[in-house]
């Protein structure tokens, strides 16, 4: 079984979001970058599947050299090898085109992405990549088992769950319950240093979107406090003053 896991390098979840250059650039100064949490679940599930069925897990990212710490971490967690496409990931379409160009003649059985990256929240790479490669896709999966050439998958739907079967090769995106993330151990960290990390130059791809600027949400006015004794008046306040119920 040959698995590809797409990894995005994102700011840590505790990051305070600040913009510079007249609100056109995300300020990365002092920001700790991590593997996108959903991609980490993908990686772990990929490893679990290959441990059971045999095979390899390749991680791929589109990014400049500063993303290599996250790639090495993915290798330390257990990925077989890694590919870095040497370009700034301008938008999801660009990223998907780059990964599709790499993956198209590699015969991967299963390609994982995360449900979304926790910075730009597009959730687009799974679908874009699948369509570009002409493969089926299932998004926000909470479970995947492989049975020969078929994947048995569960995914979130609005207000519930769906069980599906899909033929391989297949592109999926990981939702939270897929598995628990693995912490790299010392042996993994040592092994990661010598695992292959291939740097690939990007293909020419036209941009489909451009970021114009950012804005932070307006801060709330000060909180109105209600005493514990008068807690029951909250309902009346929400009805009469906030006019929300």
Partner 1 sequence: MNILVFAEQIDGSFKKSTFEAVSYASQIAQAHNGNVTAVVPGNVADDRLAELALYGANKIVSVKHDNLNGFNAETYTKVICNTASAEGSSIVVISNTYSGKSLAPRVAARLKAGIASGVISMPNTNAGFVVRRNVFSGKAFADVNLTTAIKVLAITPNTFNTLENAQSVNIVNAESGLADADFTTKSVEINRVTGKIPLTEAEIVISGGRGLKGPENWHLVEDLANALGAATACSKPVSDMHWRPHSEHVGQTGITIKPNLYIAIGISGAIQHLAGVSSSKVIVAINKDPEAPFFKAADYGIVGDAFEIMPKIIEAAKAFKAN
> Segment 104-143, which members bind partner 1 (CB under 8 A)?
118-128, 130-132, 136-140, 142
Q: Which residues contact 122 (CB under 8 A, 6 or more apart)?
A: 91, 92, 116
Distance CA 64, CA 155 (A): 33
- 46-65 mask for partner 1 (x: CB under 8 A)? --------------------
What is the distance between the alpha carbons of residues 100 and 58, in angstroms, rounded to a whole number?
14
| Shorter beta-carbon distance to partner 1: residue 50 or 117 | 117
Residue 227 tokens read as 């005493």
Q: Report helix angle 92-103 to 125-133, nearest 10.
A: 40
Question: Number of residues in contact with partner 1, rule: CB under 8 A?
Answer: 79
Stretch that binds partner 1, among 46-54, 63-71, 103-111, 162-170 (CB under 8 A): 162-170
Place of tokens 């990686």: 43
Per-residue x/- track, 165-194, partner 1 (CB under 8 A): xxx--------xx-----------------
Q: Of residues 195-214, which lie at the interface with partner 1 (CB under 8 A)?
A: 207-214
Least distance from partner 1 to the Cβ atom of residue 81, Å: 27
Sort 189 into a burial class: Cβ within 10 Å, 0-12 / 13-18 / 19+.
Answer: middle
CB 8 within 8 A of CB 126: no
Among 53, 69, 164, 190, binds partner 1 (CB under 8 A): 164
Window of 42-50, 102-110, 193-201, 227-235 that interacts with partner 1 by CB under 8 A: 227-235
Q: How far is it, in rounded angstroms, from Cα 56 to Cα 109?
A: 10
According to the binding rule CB under 8 A, does residue 68 interact with partner 1?
no
Our CB check for partner 1 shows the closer of 47 and 125 to be 125
Q: In the bound complex, what is the minimum distance in angstroms from residue 105's beta carbon to partner 1?
A: 18
């Amino acid at each position: 079984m040959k698995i590809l896991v797409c990894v995005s390098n994102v700011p840590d979840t505790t990051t305070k979001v600040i913009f510079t250059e007249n609100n056109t650039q995300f300020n990365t100064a002092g920001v700790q970058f991590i593997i996108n949490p959903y991609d980490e679940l993908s990686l772990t599930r990929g490893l679990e599947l290959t441990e059971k069925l045999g095979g390899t897990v390749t991680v791929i990212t589109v990014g400049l050299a500063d993303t290599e710490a996250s790639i090495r971490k993915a290798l330390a967690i257990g990925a077989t090898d890694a590919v870095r496409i040497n370009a700034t990931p301008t938008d999801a379409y660009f990223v998907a085109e780059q990964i599709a160009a790499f993956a198209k003649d590699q015969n991967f059985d299963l390609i994982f992405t995360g449900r979304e990256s926790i910075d730009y929240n597009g959730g687009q790479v799974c679908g874009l990549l699948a369509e570009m490669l002409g493969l089926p896709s299932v998004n926000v999966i909470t479970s995947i088992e492989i049975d020969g050439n078929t994947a048995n998958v569960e995914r979130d739907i609005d207000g519930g769950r769906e069980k599906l079967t899909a033929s391989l090769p297949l592109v999926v995106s990981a939702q939270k319950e897929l598995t628990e993330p693995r912490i790299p151990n010392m042996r993994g960290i040592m092994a990661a240093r010598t695992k292959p990390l291939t740097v690939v130059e990007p293909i020419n791809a036209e941009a489909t979107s451009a970021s114009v600027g950012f804005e932070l949400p307006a801060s709330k006015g000060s909180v109105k406090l209600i005493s514990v004794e008068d807690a029951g008046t909250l309902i009346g306040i929400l009805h009469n003053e906030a006019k929300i119920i």
